Amino acid sequence: MNILIAYFSYTGHTKGIARQIQALTGGDLFEIRPAIPYPQDYDTAERQGRRETRDGYHPPLAEPSPDLSGYDALLLGTPNWFNTAAPPVATFLAENDFGGKPIALFCTNGGGGLGHIPADVKALRRDAKLLDSLNLYEDGGAGAKAKIADWLKKNGLM
């Protein structure tokens, strides 16, 4: 199975999970990055992220997405930003045609769980075939690898 692992990461937690997923699946990594990076100061970035999610803003991305036609499935990672996907992930979803490919979400959070990320992704991509989602607190801790493997198996991706 040819898998694309696309993710946005601000603190590095989601990036770390994406790399663990890649090690287990052999999938291709694509980092979703906004054209203008978020400020390094956490409080400033938080205010900006809150404003963008509230306003439904889709920031331009730093680079175009890879051609999705050659992939069988998409594993899409985002931190939970105010109970939804980070704005760059919303841009990625809005700008791409997934052609009915299955999408498995993985989310890192600081205590908010999945929030309403699956429902918001479905609202952005009504044609999306969402698989079960993975929710990890921060970097997932010592049990992350086992949780990731279980999630991949449950979704038929490993």
The whole-angstrom separation of Cα 11 and Cα 92 is 19
> Taking 90 as the threshold, does the pLDDT of residue 99 lie above it?
no
The whole-angstrom separation of Cα 67 and Cα 53 is 27
Note down the domain range covering 83. Answer: 3-154
Q: What percent of the chain has pLDDT over 70?
A: 100
Looking at every residue in the chain, the average pLDDT score rounds to: 95
The domain tally of the chain equals 1
> Taking 90 as the threshold, does the pLDDT of residue 62 lie above it?
yes
Length reported for the chain: 158
> Taking 90 as the threshold, does the pLDDT of residue 92 lie above it?
yes
Which pLDDT belongs to residue 100? 87
Helix (H, G, I), strand (E, B) or coil at 11: coil
> Taking 90 as the threshold, does the pLDDT of residue 114 lie above it?
yes
Report pLDDT digits (tens) over 3-42.
999 999 999 999 999 999 999 999 999 999 999 999 999 9
The whole-angstrom separation of Cα 25 and Cα 124 is 27
Q: What percent of the chain has pLDDT over 90?
A: 92
Q: What CATH number does the domain containing 140 carry? A: 3.40.50.360
